[in-house]
């Protein structure tokens, strides 16, 4: 019987010392068919009661009541907690559902299934987001809810990062390889706890965290650009470029002469089969009973891009009757060589359930070499047919290097049940350099 309530207990297991087993019935009684007349030691057990050891004397014919003590006197409440797998689609939907504001989340599992290799390309999958593209058609800047890119800002793990551009504060999103992301969050309505210098929205790039067990992931892909295979690819050697200006090389008082400038950027050569290549690698684990977590992720992309375009330049002065007129017809060919690299490293240590500290480092680099050939046909002077009139050819060689470095030391501390203290120590550095921009024209 239950020692607290006095209720009869059924299903109690009674085991004798020599291996015989019996169970109590609905009336609480149990039977032992034993031939011994000696004292027998019994072991009484039940999942909801404390174990009882009892010695039974077979010569005693009186009734015996065994009182069992409950394991728990009372049950206040049951708290069941669960967590979705990191990077899963269900986790993304739950984040959208429980968010205080309007956000869209794309998890890493979805990104792995997409053909997009940059974060900018992933952003074009989000509803309400349009992308401003480069001359080769690659997505670069995000336009959220119709607001221009200058009205948005970019976060990495919730920390605002600077732009490598010296004129604008918006960050080119094609600098981020998509392989480094755990999830991509697009915030369409800001709250009071967020940065206040954006009226369009924000993009939060949550980088990969240390896995719960030892994990190694890698990927490799390659391919050709059919446009470049058909028409050919031209570029110049960036290692022949002089990266310093004459004043940096010879002093501020130096008067530059034509001999101080090089023309190696116009020494073009042809590449028959420009091969694209993407390589990513990630390794991570947790140590010391899951207290210390470490992850390192690296992604490199070597891409060759090409584009053909036709642009008709309008005349500022329209024809009589307010009809538009045009001055020039530009036919352009673009060849772009992009080298993109991203390195992500995170180290976190959990002292206990209430205190955690983490160190995060991110380095991004985008080197772009571009060759552009423009054929300018004047429509206003002697243009009588295809191939006639004044025609000019303009060559342009350009190198553009950009990089972003961010290091963040963060702490999360739960002081009391209602008091939480978070802090961040951040160092960021963004650079942009255009060591060569050369043009020449022939008639």
List Cβ neighbours of 16 (8 Å cut-off, separation of 6 or more): 32, 34, 40, 41, 42, 43
Judge whether 83 lies within some domain.
no
Whether residue 435 lies inside any domain: the answer is yes
Dmax over Cα atoms in the chain, in whole Å? 132
| Residue 52 within any structural domain of the chain | yes
Domain boundary among 74, 108, 129: 74
Q: List per-residue pLDDT tens for the chain, 443 residues long.
A: 888 888 888 889 988 887 788 888 888 888 877 666 677 788 888 888 888 888 877 777 778 888 888 887 666 778 777 776 677 788 888 888 888 888 899 998 899 888 899 999 999 999 889 999 888 888 999 999 888 888 888 999 988 999 998 888 889 999 999 999 999 999 988 877 777 777 788 999 999 989 989 999 999 999 988 889 888 899 999 888 888 888 888 888 898 888 888 888 899 999 888 999 999 999 999 999 899 999 999 999 999 999 999 888 887 777 777 778 777 888 999 999 999 999 999 999 999 989 999 999 999 999 999 999 998 887 766 655 555 567 788 999 999 999 999 999 999 999 988 899 999 999 999 999 998 899 988 87
Domain encompassing residue 65: 1-74
Give a yes or no: residue 145 inside a domain.
yes
Kindly state whether residues 196 and 228 are assigned to the same domain: no
Judge if 279 and 340 occupy the same domain.
yes
**Pairing of the two strands 13-16 and 21-23:** antiparallel
374, 324 in Cβ contact below 8 A? no
Residue 333 shares a structural domain with residue 355: yes
* Number of other CB atoms surrounding residue 350 within 10 Å: 18
Strand, coil or helix: what is 227?
helix
Residue 84 lies in a domain: no
Do the domain assignments include residue 128? yes
Which of 207, 224, 240 corresponds to the end of one domain? 207
Strand partners, 346: 295, 360
d(CA 87, CA 296): 17
Does 405 share its domain with 314? yes
79 inside domain: no
How many domains is the chain partitioned into structurally? 3
Specify whether 242 is located in the same domain as 358. Answer: yes
Regarding whether 428 and 305 lie in a shared domain, the answer is yes
The CATH number given to whatever domain includes residue 69 is 2.60.40.1120
Are 286 and 397 part of one and the same domain? yes
Residues 67 and 142 in one domain: no
* Residue ending a domain, choose from 207, 223, 256: 207
- DSSP string for residues in 147-179: B-GGGEEEEETTEE---S-SS--PPPGGGSBGG
Q: Based on the domain organization, do 176 and 250 belong to the same domain?
A: no
Question: In the Cβ-directed half-sphere of 226, how many Cα atoms lie within 13 Å?
Answer: 0
Same domain, 157 and 275: no
Do residues 354 and 392 both lie within one domain? Answer: yes
Q: CATH number for the domain including 185?
A: 2.170.130.10
Q: Is residue 404 one of the residues assigned to a domain?
A: yes
Same domain as 202, residue 268 = no
């Amino acid at each position: 019987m239950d020692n607290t309530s006095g209720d009869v207990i059924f299903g109690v297991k009674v085991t004798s010392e020599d291996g015989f087993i019996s169970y109590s019935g609905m009336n609480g009684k149990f039977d032992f068919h034993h031939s011994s007349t000696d004292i027998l030691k019994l072991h009484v057990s039940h999942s909801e009661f404390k174990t009882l050891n009892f010695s039974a004397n077979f010569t005693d014919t009186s009734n015996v009541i065994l009182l069992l003590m409950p394991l728990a006197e009372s049950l206040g409440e049951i708290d069941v907690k669960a967590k979705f797998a990191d990077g899963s689609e269900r986790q993304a939907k739950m984040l959208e559902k429980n968010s205080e504001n309007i956000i869209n989340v794309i998890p890493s599992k979805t990104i792995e299934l997409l053909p997009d290799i940059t974060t900018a390309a992933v952003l074009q999958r989000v509803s309400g987001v349009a992308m401003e593209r480069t001359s080769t058609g690659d997505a670069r800047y995000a336009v959220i809810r119709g607001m221009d890119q200058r009205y948005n800002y970019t976060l990495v793990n919730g920390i605002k990062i600077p732009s490598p551009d010296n004129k604008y504060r918006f960050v080119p999103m094609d600098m981020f390889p998509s392989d480094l992301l755990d999830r991509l969050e697009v915030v369409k309505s800001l709250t009071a706890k967020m940065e206040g210098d954006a009226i369009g929205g924000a993009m939060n790039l949550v980088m990969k965290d240390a896995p719960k067990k030892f994990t190694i992931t890698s990927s490799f892909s390659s391919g050709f650009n059919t446009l470049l295979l058909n028409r050919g690819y031209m570029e110049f050697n960036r290692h022949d470029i002089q990266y310093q200006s004459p004043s940096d090389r010879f002093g501020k008082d130096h008067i530059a002469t034509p001999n101080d400038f090089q023309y190696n950027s116009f020494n073009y050569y042809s590449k028959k089969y420009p091969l694209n290549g993407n390589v990513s690698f990630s390794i991570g684990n947790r140590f010391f009973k899951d207290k210390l977590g470490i992850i390192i992720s690296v992604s490199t992309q070597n891409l060759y891009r090409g584009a053909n375009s036709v642009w008709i330049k309008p005349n500022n002065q329209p024809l009589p009757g307010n009809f538009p007129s045009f001055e020039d017809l530009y036919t352009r060919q673009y060849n772009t060589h992009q080298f993109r690299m991203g390195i992500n490293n995170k180290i976190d240590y959990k002292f206990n359930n209430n205190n955690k500290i983490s160190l995060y480092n991110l380095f991004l680099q985008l080197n772009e070499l571009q060759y552009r050939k423009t054929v300018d046909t004047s429509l206003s002077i002697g243009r009588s047919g295809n191939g006639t009139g004044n025609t000019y050819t303009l060559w342009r060689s350009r190198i553009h290097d950009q990089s972003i470095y961010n290091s963040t030391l963060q702490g999360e501390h739960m002081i009391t049940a209602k008091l939480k203290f978070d802090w961040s120590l951040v160092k960021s550095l963004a650079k942009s350099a255009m060591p060569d921009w050369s043009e020449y024209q022939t008639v």
